[in-house]
Amino acid sequence: MSGDLIVDLRGTQIDNLEDFWDAVSEPCGLPTWFGRNVEAWRDTIQVRGISEVIDAHDILVVHVDRSGFFARKSRALGELRSAFTGRRAQLVVH
């Protein structure tokens, strides 16, 4: 493994989870069959074995703006944040 994978989405308009999946798909090397749900994301970033890009790094760090989806409290945001809990991934909201 080689250090951190930094995915900087600041400046990207993210209004919902679909926008988030669209934004992380390419930089995280998500396969076309990726489930586009929080459980699939948790498996991808914590359990590993789904994305060769993520698997090649020790830690995934995703930076987002505190706007749109990340500006308001919601169940979906809470679930997404919980997927980042652990040693292998970090969500940084600016």
Give tens-digit pLDDT for 31-88.
999 999 999 999 999 999 999 999 999 999 999 999 999 999 999 999 999 999 989 9
Q: What is the pTM of this model?
A: 0.95
Phi, psi of 23 (to 5 degrees): -75, -35
pLDDT tens for 63-74 read 999 999 999 999
Contact 20, 14 (CB under 8 A): yes
DSSP symbols for 1-59: --SEEEEE-TT----SHHHHHHHHHTTTT--TT---SHHHHHIIIII-SS-HHHHTSSE
How much is the CA Rg of the chain, to the nearest whole Å?
12
Pair of tokens at residue 64: 């987002």
